[in-house]
Structure 1
Amino acid sequence: MNQERSEIRDGMQITWDAAIQMDDGVVLRADIFRPVDAGRYPVIMSYGPYGKGLAFQDGYRTAWQSMERDYPDAVTGTSNAYANWEVVDPEKWVPHGYVVVRVDSRGAGRSPGYLCHNNHREQKDYHECIEWAAAQPWSTGKVGLNGISYYGANQWRAAATQPLHLAAICVWEGWHDNYRDGNRHGGILCTFRKNWQDMQVKTVQHGVGERGATSRLTGELACGPETLTNDELVSNREDMHHEMLSRALLTDYYKERSVDLTKVQVPLLSAANWGGQGLHARGNFEGFIGAASTQKWLEVHGGSHWAPFYTDYGVALQKRFFDYFLKGENNGWQDQPKVQLQVRHLDRYVLRYEDEWPLARTAWTSLYLDPHTLQLSDSRPQFVSTVQYRAMGKGVTFMTPPLSVDTEFTGPSSLTLIISSSTADADFFVVLHVFDPAGNEVTFQGALDPKAPLTQGWLRASQRKLEPDRSRPYRPFHSHDESQPLEPGVPYEVDIEIWPTCVVLPKGYRLGLTIMGRDYEHGLEQSTLSNMKNPMKGCGPFLHDDPVDRPSEIFDNIVTLHFDPERPATLLVPVIPERS
């Protein structure tokens, strides 16, 4: 059945459901938005599973409403009729001389096939879509990839396949390590993917058909044209949660869905979110550091996960990058500093440029955990001692004295502990907080949760093994290739990675560290998003509550922290001095 049709609408030449045939015969469907004037234009492409026919306003209602309220410039200069979740708005790009191509990934939206995320088949599909777009008569042959989260993460893998006509990628809050960056934090299973697949993917799986949404623009079924039975839908998709639950260690399953950064050689703009604890931060920092590209830049912002991408700030940055690499414009990008930070203060962000990440002038500062005062101190403890806590309780919190001067913390942190457990394992949830002079916790806008702590880290003690060649004092790197159970009551050293953060704390404020065996909760009013299953209590949707992965007989345990002047428990933090 011929689904493809074209029209001129809102100043654009639009082709709906263009057919892109893959090497195995499956036909993927794409919407193409072009300038009306004939000619050849560079391409901005996205490929993903959220349904190109589902309007942002319909599929992600509360996220759209918050963007309208808090970021009005994100929704101005456009009719918003073509707005889709996490991809560019063609009304902001086509008049600027680009073709925008949106591809429904295999098994999603209007594209048939087996729905399996991030695997080799998806990477090959994306590669073929890039080369298809480059060969079209309306294309200059230069293709750039742009988009948020899923539409950012799969850019790493597509780039690693090295398509001949891929000219540049803009990875906005996109992970690249399928194990460490979001699915198994420190080895602990995150249940986000289960709820994500239920709430955001199954709802737009190809074949939902008449039970799903209808495109506001075409009147066609967003997941059609055919309607499959529930049994057919189930048999036509991978159960991600089951696959991850059955694989506690870093196996070929995760490796296939990750990227070899040495193969990412195209010009790169990697954009992270300070509040992206759980999914939308680590991959961008590590990807920027590890990518083989000789032309790479890092940008870091705050605010919600989706809105900054659409703001005047975000769009202008993206256009400067792509104008330089896809159009060859001499727009000054060649002089763009390698790192662009929105430095976070308690009440604002301040733009600052740097030359590298982590910052070369970082004063790596050791704060020692004092078991008697529960302080974070610059002095080692004087005596051997212990502190115990029940893992499923409130844990134990250590705090600095009130800061004597305004202090900036920007970069990754790490925590070294000597621990023992009453059972054969222990999960560590590490939280860095900010406390005001009155002792009240200060929370921050996270990528998804509006009341998030400063940053977090995780580790399963049985997966404490490090890769020495890849570890740094400020960022331990765990192999996750074997389980080393604990002998109850026997002390072990563990090094815990804490994800990068940024904040300038005023004099009188305190930095706090909480160690516990469960997810952080702020105890304040909870927030909700229409595309998320559960109310958010401080960690957004990134929870670790699967009872199979975390059986209570193991992880509802008693943990002992051991303190020794010769082997002190140490928090290493990145203090940034002012430029001289």
Structure 2
Amino acid sequence: MKIRTEFDRTVTVLTDVSIPMRDGTLLAATIWLPDDAEASPVPALLEYLPYRRSDWTGPRDAQRHPWYAGNGYASVRVDMRGSGDSQGLMLDEYHEQEQADGLEVIAWLAAQPWCTGKVGMFGISWGGFNSLQLAAERPPALAAIVTVCSTDDRYADDVHYYGGAMLGIDMSAWAGTMLAFQSRPPDPAHVGDAWRSMWAARLDALRPFSEIWLAHQERDDYWRHGSVNEDYSAIEAAVLAVGGWADPYRNAVLRLVDKLDAPVKGIVGPWSHQYPDIQRTPGPTIGFLQETLRWWDHWLKGIDTGVMDEPALRLYHQESVRPATHYPVREGSWVGLSSWPSADISSKTFSLASDLRSLATDASNVALIDTPQHHGVDAARWFPFGNLSDLPPDQRAEDGRSVVFETPVLTSDINLLGFARLTLRVSSTAARATVIARLCDVAPDGSSTLITRGAINLLHRNGMDAVDELIPGEFVDAAIEFTAISWHVPAGHKLRLALATTYWPWIWPHGERGSVSIDAAASILTLDDLDPAVIGSSRVSFEEAEQSSPMGVTAGPPPVVRPEREVRYEPQTESYTVTVDPNYGGNRIFPDGLHFSEDALETYFIEQNDPLTARAESEWRISLERGEWKTSIHTHSVITATRHAFELASTVTTFEGDELFFERTYRTSIPRTSA
């Protein structure tokens, strides 16, 4: 990592800029501005988030915003309405109000005397999502975006549903995280005495987002809003789409490169849910800021940087590895493809009856699948954050809980790239069922490394907007598209397809336990195989990762010392408890004297034979202190379910000093329409 301290332009930091909205609400912004921008205007770059610019993302912001400004841009970090130090109320993620405000922010930036009138937008995760969403609104000033770890389909590829099945792991955890974010106060160092009334208004308007998300269990208009795959042609701004193979938000990169009419390039590396210049596992990092500068210079300044001469898709082709929960450096090589889909890819098909072997099929080539409720405890984290326990461990235990189909020992390499597909002929003993598929790389020593996975809630087999219950015993067709991957499976290894009916805590089980039968003779696995000559001949390279000077935050000891991830089995009750510390940051002391402490714990419980014992909890404890100003927040959220409804309970308690400031409990019951 190279820390850059000298730039062509000197920079002034405007720490508390207020951007007015039409309704009078003021959004808080920090602007890193070249000192000569008034005389020589510059394009503006916008990052627009709910994650508190003055503390939570402050260290990350310091790595990139000053760097862009030093290279001749006004780099702008805005707190969304109702978050951080901005006025107003936050009603939901990707709400219409968020997008309307974003359009006003872009117009305000373009109109400033220090701006050329051209604006770019960038962000990771939420900021990547709303960069795409605002590009689809076609604001005249927005010429280009960089979207990292994002999605074009809010239903299929976010933290709520997977294959039409409810994500138990992040429907609970992310809703709990956002509840904790919503409950944090503005900082009086930035908003003055108004902080208390602003905080009270936010708390009074709180509604746990899980109540909203669970009320939409099918892909309806709620999810279509903000999903740019509804109309790819709406995007006219140039799009650089970036993702990581260790992050769930990678599918969109391939789809955007394929579907957009606008100028588009894609990069997929080995990374987790992080910017590609941040030193978190898996590595290696790249000079991401330099790469984006080439993008901005081309589209916002009209400089021929050669960026449009790059391959349509640059990807890191991963080598086979032994299973591990983290990889400091992931072995592999960069590959450039001139188009996507690529003519250098051919498809291989495998019949589950003849090309893949299984001990589970009977004489009629039917396999019965009825997995225990705790299958999935080795699934690891939904979106890895670069922590040491994030990735799936050896899958042999999970394979033993599944029904497996595997190839003979491979006599030649397979270079998987893209979306594996599984078509199934399946019947169920219950009206509701889910099939989960894992694809694993099995080494000669028997170790099993997860390559990719997919799922289908069979109620959505005819479309994610449809709900078609099964007729017990009747065979139907269903299809699973696996999460995209690039992976070299060498000769001497085997490919293993593991099928299951449960995957806790990733997927919430249906209310009634049942088994499914797979007609192996009518079921096919299709894999896309990249020509190895392309791997050897590609010349893709990046500069060394570079950032501006770090903020100078002091890290304190963690509030609680515990394992990042723990799986506990109690034989007496045949129950499993998975606990996860997401390890977002712990204790930090900021240069302005702010002492920030946060501790989060996720807990997932289930009994081996009873789907109705599933329970997901999220608990957060946060304190913010500076001098005499002391506040603290405690949030606790629980999701359980009966056969017919989800039961949600959340509590928010906040203190100013030692005095109770706010306390409320939220309870609701939501019918299970298809989840």
What is the CA–CA distance in structure 1 between the aligned matches of 2:265 and 2:191, rounded to whole Å?
36
Tell me how far 1:335 sits from its aligned partner: 1.3
Change (3 A) 1:92 1:149: same
Q: Which residue of 1 aligns with 2:45?
A: 44
Indicate the residue corresponding to 1:29 in structure 2. Answer: 28
How many Å separate the matches in 2 of 1:125 and 1:551? 39
CA distance in 2, matches of 1:21, 1:123: 15
State the secondary structure of the residue aligned to 2:487.
strand
Identity %: 25
Q: Please, which of 273, 291, 294 is the counterpart of residue 244 of structure 2?
A: 273
Aligned to 1:190: 167
Q: Given the superposition, is the C-alpha separation of residues 416 and 372 from structure 1 closer, same or farther in structure 2, using an over 3 Å criterion? A: closer
Do structure 1's residue 286 and structure 2's residue 286 form an aligned pair? no
Matches within 5 A, 1:421-570: 421-442=428-449, 453-465=450-462, 479-519=463-503, 543-545=506-508, 550-553=509-512, 556-564=513-521, 568-570=522-524
**Shift of residue 439 of structure 1?**
1.1
Does residue 1:389 correspond to 2:389, yes or no?
no
What's the counterpart of residue 359 of structure 1? 342
- Superposition deviation, residue 551 in structure 1: 3.7
CA 268–455 in structure 1, closer or farther in 2 if over 3 Å, else same: same
Q: Is the Cα contact below 8 Å between 2:184 and 2:199 reproduced in 1?
A: no
Instruction: Give the superposition deviation at 1:327.
Output: 1.7
1:504–1:151 distance in 2 versus 1, CA, 3 Å: same
Q: CA, structure 1 residues 321+272, in 2 after alignment: closer, same or farther (shift >3 Å)?
A: same
Figure out how many residues of one structure are paired with residues of the other and give that number.
Answer: 476
Describe the shift of the 1:223–1:180 C-alpha distance in structure 2 as closer, same or farther (beyond 3 A): farther
Closer, same or farther in 2 for the Cα pair 1:287/1:552, shift >3 Å?
same
Contact persistence 2:14–2:31 (CA under 8 A)? yes
Distance in 1 of aligned mates of 2:199 and 2:510: 32
In 1, the alpha carbon distance for the partners of 2:347 and 2:243 equals 22
- Note if 1:240 corresponds to 2:241: no
Q: How does 1:117-516 map to 2 (within 5 A)?
A: 117-182=93-158, 183-191=160-168, 192-199=170-177, 201-205=178-182, 208-209=185-186, 220=189, 225-227=194-196, 232-259=201-228, 260-277=231-248, 280-293=249-262, 295-310=263-278, 311-346=285-320, 348-370=331-353, 374-375=357-358, 384-391=364-371, 392=373, 394-442=401-449, 453-465=450-462, 479-516=463-500
| Deviation of the 1:228 alpha carbon | 5.5
> Which residue does the alignment assign to 1:60?
none
Distance 1:230 1:104, change over 3 A: closer
Q: Is the 8 A contact 1:51 1:222 kept in 2?
A: no
- Quote how far apart the aligned CAs of 1:203 are: 3.5
Moved more, 257-266 or 412-421: 257-266
Matching residue of 1:534: none
Once residues 557 and 238 of structure 1 are traced to their aligned partners in structure 2, the CA distance between those partners, rounded to angstroms, is 35
Give the whole-Å Cα distance in 1 for the aligned partners of 2:118 and 2:253.
24
For the residues of structure 2 that align with 1:263 and 1:340, how far apart are their CA atoms?
Answer: 25
Deviation per residue, 1:276-310 (Å, 9 max, x gap): 23xx11222223322231x1111111122214144
Query: Does 1:579 find its partner at 2:533?
Result: yes
Is the CA contact (8 Å cut-off) linking 1:299 and 1:340 kept in structure 2?
yes
* SS of 2:484 mapped into structure 1: strand
- Structure 1 distance, partners of 2:46, 2:147, is 12
Asked whether the 8 Å contact 1:429–1:516 carries over to 2, the reply is: yes
Does the 8 A contact of 2:356 with 2:406 survive in 1?
no
**Cα gap change, 1:489/1:298 in structure 2, threshold over 3 Å: closer, same or farther?**
same
In 1: Cα distance, 2:197 partner to 2:402 partner: 49
Which secondary structure state, in structure 2, belongs to the residue aligned with residue 106 of structure 1?
A: coil
Residues 125 and 149 in structure 2, CA contact (< 8 A), matched pair in contact too: yes
Q: How far does residue 463 in structure 1 lie from its aligned partner after superposition?
A: 0.7
1:74-113 equivalence runs, <5 A: 82-84=58-60, 89-113=64-88
What is the rounded CA distance, in whole Å, between the counterparts of 1:396 and 1:225 in structure 2? 60
CA positional deviation for 1:332:
1.3
Query: CA contact under 8 A between 2:164 and 2:460: conserved in structure 1?
Result: yes
Secondary structure (helix, strand or coil) at the match of 2:59 reads coil
Counterpart Cα distance in 2 of 1:369 and 1:424: 24
Match of 1:528 in 2: none
Contact persistence 1:88–1:146 (CA under 8 A): no
Q: CA deviation at 1:397?
A: 1.4
Greater RCO (CA < 8 Å, at least 6 residues apart): 1
Following the alignment from structure 1 to structure 2, what is the Cα–Cα distance between the partners of residues 226 and 248?
37
**Structure 2 residue aligned with 1:72:** none
* 1-structure distance, mates of 2:474, 2:191: 57
Supply the AA of the counterpart residue of 2:13: I
**1:473 counterpart residue number:** none
Amino acid at match of 1:489: G
TM-score when normalising by structure 2: 0.66
In the alignment, is the contact (CA less than 8 A) between 2:46 and 2:120 conserved in 1? yes
Whole-angstrom distance in 1 between the partners of 2:16 and 2:288 = 28
Q: Secondary structure at the match of 2:176?
A: helix
From the superposition, tell whether residues 189 and 330 of structure 1 become closer, same or farther in structure 2 (CA, over 3 Å): same
Q: Distance in 1 between matches of 2:250 and 2:193?
A: 34
Map Cα deviations across residues 184-220 of structure 1 (whole Å, 9 max, x no partner).
Answer: 2111122414322322x333437624xxxx6xxxx82
AA at the equivalent of 2:290: A
8 Å Cα contact 2:438/2:452 also seen in 1? yes
Structure 1, gaps ≥5 residues long: 1-9, 57-81, 443-452, 466-478, 521-541
Measure, in 1, the Cα distance between the counterparts of 2:438 and 2:193. 45
Q: Call closer, same or farther: CA 1:29–1:232 in 2, change over 3 Å.
A: closer
Structure 1 counterpart of 2:243, one-letter code: A
Q: CA deviation at 1:22?
A: 1.5
Amino acid at match of 2:73: Y
Q: Shift in Å at residue 375 of structure 1?
A: 4.9
| Structure 1 residues 15-53: Cα deviation after superposition (integer angstroms, max 9, x where no partner) | 122111122222111110112234311111111111111
Is the Cα–Cα contact under 8 Å of residues 15 and 33 in structure 1 kept in the other structure?
yes
CA distance in 2, matches of 1:319, 1:570: 45
Q: Is the 8 Å Cα contact of residues 421 and 558 (structure 1) preserved in structure 2?
A: yes
Tell me if structure 1 keeps the 8 A contact 2:355–2:407: no
Contact 1:110 1:225 in 2 (8 A): no
Q: C-alpha displacement at 1:159, in angstroms?
A: 0.3
Using a 3 Å threshold, how does the CA distance of structure 1 residues 514 and 231 change in structure 2: closer, same or farther? farther
Contact 1:109 / 1:223 at 8 angstroms: preserved in 2? no
SS at match of 1:462: helix
- Separation of aligned partners in 1, 2:176 and 2:525: 38
Determine the C-alpha separation between the residues in 2 that align with 1:369 and 1:354.
31
Aligned to 2:642: none
Question: 2:105 & 2:23 partners in 1: Cα distance?
Answer: 13
- What is the alpha-carbon distance in structure 2 between the residues aligned to residue 101 and residue 229 of structure 1? 23
- The answer to whether the 8 A contact 2:350-2:356 is kept is no
